[in-house]
């Protein structure tokens, strides 16, 4: 049974990611590659894999303070081998300050082999009330 991301993320819904773990600075997402999400080699497109890593790191950062949002400041990705079949992404909050989160995540294939790895820096932001067509409005956290 998958968990809720706690916010509407239309692109994540479109891709079909599910949140399976969201606690204590750790996250786990599952994803099964769809035919229209592949590249010319018939494996998961790198953009899909990077999005999976980004969302996995963001949820790891949010898992220690889920009333806050996060925005990606920087991300470095390494592709080690093609991502095929059902994928599992595991993320970890490595360090945080009052306003920043430093994270890492790895995508594994169904045989448990690491396919890609990323590190990322995220900024914690306050969520603003939503009205009308605005969705998930964010405001930077004051450093004063």
Distance CA 83, CA 44 (A): 5
Is residue 5 in some structural domain? no
Is residue 16 in some structural domain? yes
> What pTM was estimated for this model as a whole?
0.88
Is residue 117 in some structural domain? yes
Distance CA 54, CA 107 (A): 11
Domain total of the chain: 1
What are the per-10-residue average pLDDT scores of the chain (144 residues)?
80 95 97 94 95 98 92 98 95 97 97 98 84 50 50
Q: Are 52 and 17 in contact (CB under 8 A)?
A: yes
Is residue 82 in some structural domain? yes
Q: Are 1 and 19 in contact (CB under 8 A)?
A: no
Is residue 1 in some structural domain? no
Give residue 127's pLDDT.
Answer: 78
Count the neighbouring beta carbons within 10 Å of the beta carbon of residue 86: 11
Give residue 48's pLDDT.
Answer: 97
Is residue 2 in some structural domain? no
Give residue 129's pLDDT.
Answer: 62
Is residue 46 in some structural domain? yes
Give residue 90's pLDDT.
Answer: 98
3-state SS, residue 18? strand
Distance CA 101, CA 91 (A): 12
Q: How far is CA 62 from the centre of its chain?
A: 10
CATH number of the domain residue 19 falls in: 3.10.129.10
Domain of residue 116, residue span: 10-140
Is residue 3 in some structural domain? no
């Amino acid at each position: 049974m998958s968990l809720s991301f706690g916010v509407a993320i239309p692109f994540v819904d479109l891709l079909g990611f599910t949140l399976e773990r969201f606690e204590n600075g750790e996250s786990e997402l599952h994803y099964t590659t769809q035919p229209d999400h592949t590249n010319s080699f018939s494996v998961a497109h790198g953009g899909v894999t990077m999005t999976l890593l980004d969302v996995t790191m963001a949820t790891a950062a949010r898992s220690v303070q889920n009333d806050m949002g996060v925005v990606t400041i920087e991300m470095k990705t390494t592709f080690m081998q093609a991502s095929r079949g059902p994928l599992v992404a595991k993320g970890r909050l490595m360090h945080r300050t009052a306003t920043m989160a430093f994270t890492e995540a790895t995508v594994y294939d169904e045989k448990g082999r690491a396919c890609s790895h990323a590190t990322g820096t995220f900024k914690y932001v306050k969520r603003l009330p939503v009205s009308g067509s605005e969705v998930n409005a964010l405001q930077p956290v004051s450093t004063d």
